[in-house]
């Protein structure tokens, strides 16, 4: 096998990132935009001893599950890497992924993962966008980086973003052009505008625009803001973020308020939530509500329960369930997000919550030392999952239930294995589709202390 060779192969599976898998001469090949059951002419892009990467040259047999309607440009950009698969099959793919991880990583054979809860809107659902600004053929463009690259693909219809966000991006791009503001040039380290971020509160429609720049001074920014707020009355917050580093990170350290408020306000499960530019907020609001509802139902909350909301962000989970329990203790590491959660508790008249800014690990240990005895613990960590020390201390307080909300079923399965060794049993697993058209899946797992619920 060598580079550029063309071979006929059958695609036998999908990788967890949604690439087609073919097996040739004992090697596993990964192929973009290829589906199980398809027979293709594959061009070899790269080979190592055990694996290879290929590209579709031609289809000899096309899968009946292929979404023919989807414009493949979106695929290449990497924002919709499962867009070429029909939606019902995307849901099955996600359920199977989670099931495999529970089996292979957690070592559990006996538990059936529930069918993926389908999204109410499989398109135009994202409430947030981060869009690089670059110069292409002399013109300032906004779009998305092609997968695994920094090649900007100009795009106007982002397909999975709320349409009002696309409209604001387009208007901003046009004004940046008209006002002759210079796009960032990564190679030269020159130019001013690196990225624009847009957040939109799904239920109230309020929008926030963040301009990420290399320097503090933005020429003619008053004109930009005047025009945009005239055209978009819902644009209530314009913020500048300064990032002068040669880095892939989008945001720098410094934020400045240019116009309006520092936050936008959205609603979830009947509460109002203020959201800062720095705070984490689930990108699909109606489906996040469903996710939280699934988590609360699994927890089987009782009025005497003491609940922990670990990795709490702006407090969406803890505040949603506060009325059903005695007290909620929450922990989050980003100071602005913790401020938001405290404010959100106040605004909604919720007094039985305590949010602290700390690492989840040390907060857990502190609560343990203070004699706080939670009966149910919610965890919602980032992709890397929990740390062994958090798992240890959370199991040590012996809550009846641990509800694990995860955006990465592989690390969740690893942590479940650890919890099982400490006397907890995995009872239920429910994938929820917050990210249609992409390989990402959110999942809720219920761990119960051995002996609980057997009466």
Instruction: Give the footprint of ligand SAH on this chain (CB under 6 A).
Output: 280-282, 311-313, 316-317, 331-334, 337, 359-360, 380-382
- How many residues in the chain? 455
Closest CB to ligand SAH among 362 and 420? 362
User: In the bound complex, which residue of the shown chain has the CB atom lying closest to ligand SAH?
Assistant: 313
Annotated binding residue at 74?
no
Q: Mapping DSSP to helix (H, G, I), strand (E, B) and coil, where does residue 36 land?
A: coil
Marked catalytic residue, from 211, 360, 407, 444? 407
- Minimum distance of ligand SAH from residue 196's CB (angstroms): 22
Closest CB to ligand SAH among 227 and 389? 389
- Minimum distance of ligand SAH from residue 445's CB (angstroms): 15
Cα–Cα distance measured from residue 414 to residue 425, given in angstroms and rounded to the nearest whole number? 13
Closest CB to ligand SAH among 270 and 382? 382
Are the C-beta atoms of 317 and 293 separated by less than 8 Å? no
Annotated binding residue at 112?
no
Annotated binding residue at 311?
yes
Annotated binding residue at 380?
yes
Q: How far is CA 26 from CA 7, 11, 18, 47, 448, in A?
A: 14, 14, 21, 12, 42
CA dihedral 375, 454, 97, 388 (to 10 degrees): 40
Q: Mapping DSSP to helix (H, G, I), strand (E, B) and coil, where does residue 250 land?
A: coil
DSSP string, 334-365: -HHHHHHHHHHHHHTT--SEEEEES-HHHHHH
Where do we find the tokens 């469903």? 290
Alpha-helical regions (H) of 78-162: 87-104
Cα–Cα distance measured from residue 339 to residue 332, given in angstroms and rounded to the nearest whole number? 10
- Minimum distance of ligand SAH from residue 187's CB (angstroms): 32
407 a catalytic residue: yes
Closest CB to ligand SAH among 33 and 312? 312
- Minimum distance of ligand SAH from residue 360's CB (angstroms): 4
The catalytic site residues sit at: 407
Known binding residues = 282, 311, 332, 380
- Residues tagged in the binding site annotation for S-adenosyl-L-methionine: 282, 311, 332, 380
């Amino acid at each position: 096998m060598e580079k550029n060779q063309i071979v006929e192969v059958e695609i036998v599976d999908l990788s967890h990132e949604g690439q087609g898998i073919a097996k040739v001469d004992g090697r596993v090949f990964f192929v973009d935009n290829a589906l199980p059951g398809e027979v293709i002419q594959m061009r070899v892009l790269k080979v190592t001893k055990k694996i290879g990467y290929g590209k579709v040259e031609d289809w000899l047999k096309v899968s009946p599950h292929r979404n023919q309607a989807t414009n493949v440009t979106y695929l290449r950009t990497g924002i919709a890497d499962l867009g070429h698969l029909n939606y019902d099959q995307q849901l099955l793919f996600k359920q199977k992924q989670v099931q495999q991880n529970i089996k292979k990583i957690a070592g559990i054979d006996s538990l059936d993962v529930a069918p993926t809860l389908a999204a109410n809107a499989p398109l135009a659902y994202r409430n947030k966008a981060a869009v690089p600004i670059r110069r292409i053929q002399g013109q300032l463009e906004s779009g998305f980086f092609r997968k695994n690259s920094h090649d900007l693909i100009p795009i106007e219809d982002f397909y999975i973003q709320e349409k009002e966000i696309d409209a604001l991006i387009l208007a901003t791009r046009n004004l940046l052009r008209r006002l002759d503001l210079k796009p960032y040039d990564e190679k030269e380290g020159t130019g001013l505008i690196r990225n624009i971020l847009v957040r939109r509160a799904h239920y109230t429609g309020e929008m926030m625009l963040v301009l990420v720049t290399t320097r503090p001074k933005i020429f003619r920014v008053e004109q930009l803001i005047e025009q945009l707020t005239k055209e978009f009355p819902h644009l209530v917050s314009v913020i500048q973020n300064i990032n002068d580093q040669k880095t892939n990170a989008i945001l720098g350290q410094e934020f400045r308020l240019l116009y309006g408020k520092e936050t936008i306000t959205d609603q979830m499960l009947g509460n109002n939530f203020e959201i800062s530019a720095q705070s984490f907020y689930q990108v699909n609001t109606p489906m996040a509500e469903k996710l939280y509802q699934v988590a609360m139902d699994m927890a089987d909350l009782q009025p005497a329960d003491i609940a922990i909301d670990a990795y709490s962000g702006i407090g969406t989970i803890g505040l949603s369930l506060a009325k059903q329990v005695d007290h909620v203790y929450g922990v989050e590491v980003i100071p602005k997000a913790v401020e938001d959660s405290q404010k959100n508790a106040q605004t909604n008249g919720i007094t039985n919550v305590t949010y602290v800014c700390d690492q989840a690990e040390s907060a857990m240990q502190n609560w343990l030392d203070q004699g706080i005895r939670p009966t149910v613990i919610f965890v919602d960590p980032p992709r890397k999952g929990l740390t062994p020390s958090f798992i240890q201390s959370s199991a040590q307080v012996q809550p009846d239930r641990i509800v694990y909300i995860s955006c990465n079923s592989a690390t969740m399965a690893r942590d479940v294995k650890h919890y099982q060794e400490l006397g907890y049993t995995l009872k239920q697993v429910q994938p929820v589709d917050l990210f249609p058209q992409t390989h990402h899946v959110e999942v809720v797992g219920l761990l119960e202390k051995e002996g609980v619920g057997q009466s």
